[in-house]
Chains A and B, each alone.
Chain A
Amino acid sequence: MNKNRDESSKRAQEPGGSVASDATTVDPDDDFRLVALAQQGDLHAYDALVTRHRGRIFAMIRNMIHQEADAWDLSQEVFIKAWHALPRFEAKAKFSTWLYRIAHNTVYDWARKRKIESAGEFNDEIFERERIDSASFTTPSGGESPDATMANGELRVKIQIALGKLSAEHREVVLLKDVQGLSYKEIAEAMSSTLGTVMSRLFYARQKLQALLKDEYETR
Protein backbone atom coordinates (compact mmCIF):
# COMPACT_ATOMS: atom_id res chain seq x y z
CA MET A 1 0.00 0.00 0.00
CA ASN A 2 2.75 2.39 0.97
CA LYS A 3 4.69 1.48 -2.10
CA ASN A 4 1.66 2.21 -4.23
CA ARG A 5 1.21 5.50 -2.44
CA ASP A 6 4.80 6.50 -3.01
CA GLU A 7 4.59 5.64 -6.65
CA SER A 8 1.45 7.66 -7.14
CA SER A 9 2.95 10.57 -5.28
CA LYS A 10 6.03 10.37 -7.42
CA ARG A 11 3.95 10.36 -10.55
CA ALA A 12 1.97 13.28 -9.27
CA GLN A 13 5.11 15.32 -8.82
CA GLU A 14 6.49 14.67 -12.25
CA PRO A 15 5.88 17.77 -14.37
CA GLY A 16 5.50 15.84 -17.56
CA GLY A 17 4.51 12.57 -15.99
CA SER A 18 1.86 10.16 -17.06
CA VAL A 19 -0.76 11.97 -15.04
CA ALA A 20 -2.26 14.35 -17.54
CA SER A 21 -2.79 17.97 -16.63
CA ASP A 22 -6.06 18.18 -18.50
CA ALA A 23 -9.19 16.37 -17.43
CA THR A 24 -10.11 15.71 -21.06
CA THR A 25 -7.51 12.97 -21.09
CA VAL A 26 -7.55 11.85 -17.49
CA ASP A 27 -8.54 8.42 -16.45
CA PRO A 28 -11.12 8.46 -13.64
CA ASP A 29 -9.31 5.51 -12.09
CA ASP A 30 -6.24 7.73 -11.70
CA ASP A 31 -8.48 10.26 -10.00
CA PHE A 32 -9.77 7.70 -7.54
CA ARG A 33 -6.27 6.52 -6.79
CA LEU A 34 -5.09 10.06 -6.15
CA VAL A 35 -8.20 10.83 -4.11
CA ALA A 36 -7.54 7.80 -1.92
CA LEU A 37 -4.03 9.07 -1.28
CA ALA A 38 -5.20 12.61 -0.65
CA GLN A 39 -7.78 11.32 1.81
CA GLN A 40 -4.87 9.94 3.80
CA GLY A 41 -3.33 13.40 3.88
CA ASP A 42 -1.01 13.13 0.88
CA LEU A 43 -0.65 16.70 -0.33
CA HIS A 44 1.42 15.69 -3.36
CA ALA A 45 -1.45 13.56 -4.58
CA TYR A 46 -3.85 16.43 -4.02
CA ASP A 47 -1.51 18.76 -5.88
CA ALA A 48 -1.74 16.39 -8.82
CA LEU A 49 -5.54 16.41 -8.62
CA VAL A 50 -5.53 20.20 -8.64
CA THR A 51 -3.28 20.19 -11.69
CA ARG A 52 -5.53 17.74 -13.50
CA HIS A 53 -8.77 19.60 -12.85
CA ARG A 54 -7.87 23.26 -12.44
CA GLY A 55 -8.27 24.01 -16.16
CA ARG A 56 -11.84 22.79 -16.35
CA ILE A 57 -12.92 24.36 -13.09
CA PHE A 58 -11.32 27.68 -14.01
CA ALA A 59 -12.88 27.66 -17.51
CA MET A 60 -16.28 26.78 -16.09
CA ILE A 61 -16.24 29.49 -13.44
CA ARG A 62 -14.84 32.09 -15.84
CA ASN A 63 -17.60 31.36 -18.31
CA MET A 64 -20.13 31.66 -15.50
CA ILE A 65 -19.03 34.97 -14.04
CA HIS A 66 -17.03 36.54 -16.89
CA GLN A 67 -14.40 37.91 -14.52
CA GLU A 68 -10.98 36.41 -14.77
CA ALA A 69 -9.54 37.60 -11.45
CA ASP A 70 -12.57 36.48 -9.46
CA ALA A 71 -12.64 33.21 -11.37
CA TRP A 72 -9.02 32.62 -10.36
CA ASP A 73 -9.82 33.20 -6.68
CA LEU A 74 -13.02 31.17 -6.78
CA SER A 75 -11.31 28.26 -8.50
CA GLN A 76 -8.79 28.16 -5.68
CA GLU A 77 -11.60 28.28 -3.17
CA VAL A 78 -13.16 25.26 -4.89
CA PHE A 79 -10.01 23.21 -4.41
CA ILE A 80 -9.55 24.36 -0.83
CA LYS A 81 -13.15 23.45 0.00
CA ALA A 82 -12.75 20.15 -1.81
CA TRP A 83 -9.70 19.31 0.30
CA HIS A 84 -11.59 19.92 3.52
CA ALA A 85 -14.58 17.94 2.26
CA LEU A 86 -12.45 15.13 0.89
CA PRO A 87 -13.01 12.81 3.88
CA ARG A 88 -16.70 12.80 2.97
CA PHE A 89 -16.14 12.01 -0.72
CA GLU A 90 -17.38 8.46 -1.21
CA ALA A 91 -16.47 7.94 -4.86
CA LYS A 92 -20.10 7.33 -5.80
CA ALA A 93 -19.68 9.95 -8.48
CA LYS A 94 -16.68 11.01 -10.52
CA PHE A 95 -14.27 13.29 -8.71
CA SER A 96 -14.74 15.85 -11.49
CA THR A 97 -18.53 15.83 -11.05
CA TRP A 98 -18.05 16.33 -7.33
CA LEU A 99 -15.75 19.27 -8.05
CA TYR A 100 -18.35 20.82 -10.39
CA ARG A 101 -20.84 20.59 -7.56
CA ILE A 102 -18.49 22.42 -5.21
CA ALA A 103 -17.83 24.96 -7.96
CA HIS A 104 -21.58 25.43 -8.40
CA ASN A 105 -22.04 26.13 -4.68
CA THR A 106 -18.99 28.38 -4.54
CA VAL A 107 -20.14 30.51 -7.46
CA TYR A 108 -23.67 30.87 -6.12
CA ASP A 109 -22.39 31.74 -2.63
CA TRP A 110 -20.13 34.35 -4.19
CA ALA A 111 -23.01 35.80 -6.21
CA ARG A 112 -25.21 35.86 -3.11
CA LYS A 113 -22.55 37.73 -1.14
CA ARG A 114 -22.05 40.19 -3.96
CA LYS A 115 -25.80 40.76 -4.08
CA ILE A 116 -25.94 41.44 -0.36
CA GLU A 117 -22.91 43.72 -0.42
CA SER A 118 -24.30 45.78 -3.27
CA ALA A 119 -27.83 45.63 -1.80
CA GLY A 120 -29.11 44.45 -5.15
CA GLU A 121 -27.70 47.48 -6.95
CA PHE A 122 -25.68 45.45 -9.40
CA ASN A 123 -27.81 42.39 -9.17
CA ASP A 124 -28.28 41.95 -12.88
CA GLU A 125 -24.63 42.44 -13.61
CA ILE A 126 -23.34 39.66 -11.39
CA PHE A 127 -24.28 36.96 -13.85
CA GLU A 128 -25.90 38.69 -16.76
CA ARG A 129 -23.02 40.67 -18.14
CA GLU A 130 -23.45 41.53 -21.74
CA ARG A 131 -20.17 43.30 -22.25
CA ILE A 132 -17.54 40.70 -22.72
CA ASP A 133 -13.90 41.61 -22.73
CA SER A 134 -13.12 40.03 -26.04
CA ALA A 135 -9.39 40.34 -25.53
CA SER A 136 -9.31 37.98 -22.60
CA PHE A 137 -11.60 35.32 -23.97
CA THR A 138 -10.78 34.99 -27.62
CA THR A 139 -7.47 33.26 -27.52
CA PRO A 140 -7.19 31.91 -31.06
CA SER A 141 -6.20 28.36 -31.57
CA GLY A 142 -3.08 27.74 -33.57
CA GLY A 143 -3.14 27.08 -37.31
CA GLU A 144 -5.94 29.45 -38.19
CA SER A 145 -5.62 32.01 -40.94
CA PRO A 146 -6.03 35.65 -39.84
CA ASP A 147 -9.47 35.82 -41.48
CA ALA A 148 -10.59 32.61 -39.80
CA THR A 149 -9.19 33.83 -36.52
CA MET A 150 -11.14 37.05 -36.80
CA ALA A 151 -14.33 35.26 -37.84
CA ASN A 152 -14.02 32.72 -35.04
CA GLY A 153 -13.15 35.45 -32.57
CA GLU A 154 -16.30 37.32 -33.50
CA LEU A 155 -18.41 34.21 -33.18
CA ARG A 156 -16.80 33.44 -29.86
CA VAL A 157 -17.74 36.85 -28.55
CA LYS A 158 -21.26 36.52 -29.91
CA ILE A 159 -21.70 33.16 -28.19
CA GLN A 160 -20.38 34.59 -24.94
CA ILE A 161 -22.69 37.57 -25.17
CA ALA A 162 -25.62 35.27 -25.89
CA LEU A 163 -24.69 33.07 -22.94
CA GLY A 164 -24.46 36.20 -20.81
CA LYS A 165 -28.09 36.92 -21.59
CA LEU A 166 -29.26 33.63 -20.14
CA SER A 167 -30.18 33.18 -16.51
CA ALA A 168 -27.42 31.72 -14.34
CA GLU A 169 -29.11 28.31 -14.18
CA HIS A 170 -29.65 28.14 -17.94
CA ARG A 171 -26.11 29.27 -18.64
CA GLU A 172 -24.66 26.77 -16.24
CA VAL A 173 -26.56 23.86 -17.73
CA VAL A 174 -25.39 24.81 -21.24
CA LEU A 175 -21.79 25.15 -20.11
CA LEU A 176 -21.84 21.83 -18.27
CA LYS A 177 -23.54 19.99 -21.11
CA ASP A 178 -22.24 21.53 -24.31
CA VAL A 179 -18.84 22.84 -23.22
CA GLN A 180 -17.79 20.50 -20.43
CA GLY A 181 -19.54 17.48 -21.92
CA LEU A 182 -21.24 16.18 -18.79
CA SER A 183 -24.17 13.81 -19.04
CA TYR A 184 -27.62 14.81 -17.86
CA LYS A 185 -27.18 12.67 -14.77
CA GLU A 186 -23.87 14.27 -13.91
CA ILE A 187 -25.31 17.75 -14.39
CA ALA A 188 -28.21 16.89 -12.09
CA GLU A 189 -25.68 15.81 -9.47
CA ALA A 190 -23.52 18.89 -9.94
CA MET A 191 -26.46 21.27 -9.72
CA SER A 192 -28.33 19.35 -6.99
CA SER A 193 -31.27 19.15 -9.33
CA THR A 194 -33.51 16.56 -10.95
CA LEU A 195 -32.99 15.05 -14.37
CA GLY A 196 -36.26 16.57 -15.58
CA THR A 197 -35.28 20.04 -14.44
CA VAL A 198 -31.93 19.77 -16.18
CA MET A 199 -33.56 18.61 -19.40
CA SER A 200 -36.11 21.37 -19.27
CA ARG A 201 -33.49 24.04 -18.56
CA LEU A 202 -31.26 22.85 -21.36
CA PHE A 203 -34.13 22.77 -23.82
CA TYR A 204 -35.17 26.36 -23.09
CA ALA A 205 -31.59 27.59 -22.88
CA ARG A 206 -30.77 26.20 -26.30
CA GLN A 207 -33.94 27.66 -27.76
CA LYS A 208 -33.04 31.08 -26.42
CA LEU A 209 -29.47 30.81 -27.66
CA GLN A 210 -30.72 29.83 -31.08
CA ALA A 211 -32.94 32.91 -31.14
CA LEU A 212 -30.10 35.14 -29.96
CA LEU A 213 -27.69 33.71 -32.51
CA LYS A 214 -30.27 33.61 -35.26
CA ASP A 215 -28.10 35.57 -37.69
CA GLU A 216 -25.25 33.13 -37.26
CA TYR A 217 -27.51 30.20 -37.95
CA GLU A 218 -29.10 31.78 -41.00
CA THR A 219 -25.78 32.57 -42.67
CA ARG A 220 -24.77 28.92 -42.57
Chain B
Amino acid sequence: MNMKPDETTLALWLDDELTGAELASVEAWAATQPEQLAAREEIRHWRETVTANLAASVEPPYPDFFNNRVLQSIRERPPAASLPDKKSFSWKTWLMPAAACAGMALTFWAGMNTQAVPEYDVAGAPRAIPVDPVVYTPENGVNAEWFTSSEASATVIVLNGITAIPDTMDFSQTVYVPMDREIDSTAGGNIHQ
Protein backbone atom coordinates (compact mmCIF):
# COMPACT_ATOMS: atom_id res chain seq x y z
CA MET B 1 0.00 0.00 0.00
CA ASN B 2 2.57 2.49 -1.20
CA MET B 3 0.18 5.29 -1.94
CA LYS B 4 1.10 8.91 -1.60
CA PRO B 5 -0.38 10.29 1.62
CA ASP B 6 -2.51 13.42 1.66
CA GLU B 7 -0.95 16.78 2.56
CA THR B 8 -2.00 16.66 6.20
CA THR B 9 -0.68 13.15 6.75
CA LEU B 10 2.55 14.03 4.99
CA ALA B 11 3.04 17.11 7.17
CA LEU B 12 2.42 15.02 10.28
CA TRP B 13 4.93 12.42 9.06
CA LEU B 14 7.55 15.09 8.32
CA ASP B 15 7.22 16.27 11.92
CA ASP B 16 7.29 12.79 13.41
CA GLU B 17 3.73 12.99 14.66
CA LEU B 18 2.45 9.77 13.11
CA THR B 19 2.26 6.48 14.96
CA GLY B 20 1.12 2.93 14.38
CA ALA B 21 -0.30 1.75 11.10
CA GLU B 22 -0.45 5.23 9.65
CA LEU B 23 3.26 5.72 10.24
CA ALA B 24 4.09 2.35 8.73
CA SER B 25 2.03 3.14 5.65
CA VAL B 26 3.74 6.48 5.03
CA GLU B 27 7.17 5.02 5.80
CA ALA B 28 6.60 2.40 3.12
CA TRP B 29 5.72 5.09 0.62
CA ALA B 30 8.58 7.38 1.69
CA ALA B 31 11.18 4.66 1.27
CA THR B 32 11.14 5.43 -2.44
CA GLN B 33 10.97 9.20 -1.96
CA PRO B 34 14.49 10.46 -1.23
CA GLU B 35 13.45 14.12 -1.32
CA GLN B 36 10.81 13.52 1.36
CA LEU B 37 13.30 11.65 3.52
CA ALA B 38 15.75 14.53 3.10
CA ALA B 39 13.05 17.03 4.02
CA ARG B 40 12.27 15.12 7.18
CA GLU B 41 15.95 14.98 8.10
CA GLU B 42 16.24 18.70 7.55
CA ILE B 43 13.30 19.36 9.87
CA ARG B 44 14.77 17.06 12.50
CA HIS B 45 18.09 18.85 12.23
CA TRP B 46 16.39 22.24 12.56
CA ARG B 47 14.50 21.10 15.62
CA GLU B 48 17.69 19.83 17.23
CA THR B 49 19.44 23.13 16.50
CA VAL B 50 16.60 25.21 17.90
CA THR B 51 16.11 23.14 21.03
CA ALA B 52 19.85 23.23 21.71
CA ASN B 53 19.83 27.01 21.53
CA LEU B 54 16.46 28.14 22.81
CA ALA B 55 15.32 26.75 26.11
CA ALA B 56 11.73 25.57 26.26
CA SER B 57 11.54 26.49 29.92
CA VAL B 58 13.24 29.39 31.65
CA GLU B 59 12.53 30.21 35.25
CA PRO B 60 11.38 33.81 35.52
CA PRO B 61 13.58 36.06 37.64
CA TYR B 62 12.69 35.91 41.35
CA PRO B 63 10.42 32.88 40.93
CA ASP B 64 9.14 32.93 44.51
CA PHE B 65 8.20 36.57 44.18
CA PHE B 66 6.56 35.69 40.87
CA ASN B 67 4.29 33.15 42.55
CA ASN B 68 3.59 35.42 45.50
CA ARG B 69 2.47 38.22 43.24
CA VAL B 70 0.17 35.92 41.31
CA LEU B 71 -1.40 34.61 44.50
CA GLN B 72 -1.65 38.07 46.02
CA SER B 73 -3.42 39.35 42.93
CA ILE B 74 -5.80 36.40 43.02
CA ARG B 75 -6.63 37.10 46.67
CA GLU B 76 -7.14 40.81 46.04
CA ARG B 77 -9.27 40.44 42.95
CA PRO B 78 -12.69 38.93 43.44
CA PRO B 79 -13.48 35.85 41.41
CA ALA B 80 -15.02 36.43 38.03
CA ALA B 81 -18.51 35.90 39.37
CA SER B 82 -19.68 38.91 37.47
CA LEU B 83 -19.13 37.14 34.19
CA PRO B 84 -22.56 36.29 32.83
CA ASP B 85 -23.37 32.75 31.89
CA LYS B 86 -24.00 32.92 28.19
CA LYS B 87 -26.33 29.95 28.24
CA SER B 88 -28.56 31.22 31.00
CA PHE B 89 -31.93 32.58 30.01
CA SER B 90 -33.43 35.48 31.86
CA TRP B 91 -36.69 37.33 31.47
CA LYS B 92 -34.60 40.48 31.42
CA THR B 93 -33.10 39.54 28.09
CA TRP B 94 -36.41 40.04 26.27
CA LEU B 95 -38.55 41.99 28.71
CA MET B 96 -36.22 44.94 29.13
CA PRO B 97 -36.01 45.85 25.41
CA ALA B 98 -39.77 45.34 25.10
CA ALA B 99 -40.40 47.61 28.09
CA ALA B 100 -38.08 50.24 26.60
CA CYS B 101 -39.93 50.13 23.27
CA ALA B 102 -43.29 50.41 25.02
CA GLY B 103 -42.05 53.39 27.00
CA MET B 104 -40.84 55.14 23.87
CA ALA B 105 -44.16 54.51 22.12
CA LEU B 106 -46.11 55.83 25.12
CA THR B 107 -43.99 58.96 25.28
CA PHE B 108 -44.48 59.58 21.56
CA TRP B 109 -48.25 59.11 21.85
CA ALA B 110 -48.47 61.45 24.84
CA GLY B 111 -46.43 64.07 23.01
CA MET B 112 -48.65 63.90 19.96
CA ASN B 113 -51.86 64.20 21.98
CA THR B 114 -50.89 66.92 24.38
CA GLN B 115 -49.19 69.32 21.95
CA ALA B 116 -51.25 72.55 21.57
CA VAL B 117 -52.17 73.40 18.04
CA PRO B 118 -51.28 77.08 17.28
CA GLU B 119 -54.24 79.18 16.27
CA TYR B 120 -53.49 81.90 13.69
CA ASP B 121 -56.07 83.45 11.43
CA VAL B 122 -53.79 85.47 9.19
CA ALA B 123 -53.35 83.07 6.37
CA GLY B 124 -50.15 83.37 4.42
CA ALA B 125 -48.76 86.22 6.50
CA PRO B 126 -45.53 85.95 8.39
CA ARG B 127 -46.35 84.81 11.85
CA ALA B 128 -44.90 86.36 14.92
CA ILE B 129 -44.19 83.70 17.43
CA PRO B 130 -43.84 84.82 21.00
CA VAL B 131 -40.31 84.32 22.13
CA ASP B 132 -39.96 81.53 24.57
CA PRO B 133 -38.82 82.56 28.01
CA VAL B 134 -35.91 80.18 27.62
CA VAL B 135 -34.46 82.23 24.76
CA TYR B 136 -31.83 84.45 26.25
CA THR B 137 -30.74 87.74 24.78
CA PRO B 138 -27.19 88.99 25.19
CA GLU B 139 -27.99 92.09 27.23
CA ASN B 140 -30.71 93.45 29.44
CA GLY B 141 -33.21 95.54 27.51
CA VAL B 142 -32.76 93.56 24.33
CA ASN B 143 -35.87 91.91 22.97
CA ALA B 144 -35.93 89.04 20.56
CA GLU B 145 -38.69 88.35 18.07
CA TRP B 146 -38.83 85.29 15.92
CA PHE B 147 -40.58 85.40 12.56
CA THR B 148 -41.06 82.38 10.42
CA SER B 149 -42.56 81.98 6.97
CA SER B 150 -43.38 78.58 5.63
CA GLU B 151 -43.83 80.01 2.12
CA ALA B 152 -40.39 81.54 2.13
CA SER B 153 -38.95 78.67 4.14
CA ALA B 154 -37.26 81.31 6.25
CA THR B 155 -36.86 82.14 9.90
CA VAL B 156 -35.83 85.61 11.04
CA ILE B 157 -34.80 86.53 14.55
CA VAL B 158 -34.94 90.27 15.26
CA LEU B 159 -33.07 91.66 18.22
CA ASN B 160 -34.36 95.06 19.37
CA GLY B 161 -32.35 97.26 21.66
CA ILE B 162 -28.80 96.40 20.64
CA THR B 163 -26.41 99.31 20.25
CA ALA B 164 -25.62 99.93 16.60
CA ILE B 165 -22.18 98.81 15.46
CA PRO B 166 -20.14 101.93 14.57
CA ASP B 167 -19.04 102.26 10.96
CA THR B 168 -15.46 102.84 12.09
CA MET B 169 -15.12 99.39 13.66
CA ASP B 170 -12.25 97.39 12.16
CA PHE B 171 -13.34 93.77 12.15
CA SER B 172 -9.84 92.51 11.39
CA GLN B 173 -8.90 93.52 14.93
CA THR B 174 -11.36 91.04 16.30
CA VAL B 175 -9.40 88.18 14.75
CA TYR B 176 -6.26 86.83 16.46
CA VAL B 177 -3.37 86.62 14.03
CA PRO B 178 -0.20 85.15 15.57
CA MET B 179 3.08 86.95 15.00
CA ASP B 180 5.79 85.11 13.08
CA ARG B 181 7.94 84.51 16.09
CA GLU B 182 4.98 83.23 18.04
CA ILE B 183 4.37 80.61 15.41
CA ASP B 184 7.78 78.99 15.94
CA SER B 185 8.66 79.57 19.53
CA THR B 186 11.33 76.84 19.46
CA ALA B 187 13.51 78.77 17.00
CA GLY B 188 15.36 80.50 19.79
CA GLY B 189 18.22 81.71 17.59
CA ASN B 190 15.96 83.92 15.57
CA ILE B 191 14.35 85.71 18.46
CA HIS B 192 15.62 89.24 18.85
CA GLN B 193 15.46 90.53 22.34
- B7, B53, B57, B61: residue with the most chain A Cβ atoms closer than 10 Å: B57
Tell me which residues across on chain A come within 8 A of B67, comparing CB atoms. Answer: 47, 50-51, 54
In the assembled complex, the CB of B50 is this many whole angstroms from the nearest CB of chain A, namely 5
Asked, given contacts A47-B71, A80-B77, whether A58 binds B58 with beta carbons under 8 Å apart, the answer is yes
Which interface class (under 10, 10 to 19, 20 to 34, 35 or more) fits B? 35 or more
Which interface class (under 10, 10 to 19, 20 to 34, 35 or more) fits A? 35 or more
Specify the chain A residue showing the minimal Cβ separation from B58.
A59
Beta-carbon contacts of A149-176 to B below 8 Å, as 1s and 0s? 0001001100110000000000000110
Tell me which residues across on chain B come within 8 A of A56, comparing CB atoms. Answer: 56-57
Tell me which residues across on chain A come within 8 A of B73, comparing CB atoms. Answer: 76, 80
A179 to B67, CA, bound (A): 24
A: residues with CB less than 8 A from B are 21-24, 43, 46-47, 50-51, 54-56, 58-59, 62-63, 68, 71-72, 75-76, 79-80, 83-85, 139, 152, 155-156, 159-160, 174-175, 177-181, 183-184, 195-196, 199, 203, 206, 209-210
Instruction: Say whether B43 faces chain A, with CB atoms less than 8 Å apart.
Output: yes
In the assembled complex, the CB of A40 is this many whole angstroms from the nearest CB of chain B, namely 12
Which of B54, B56, B66 contacts A76, CB < 8 Å? B66
A50 to B63, CA, bound (A): 10
Does B54 lie within 8 Å of A156, measured CB to CB?
Answer: yes
Which of A55, A159, A160 contacts B60, CB < 8 Å? A55
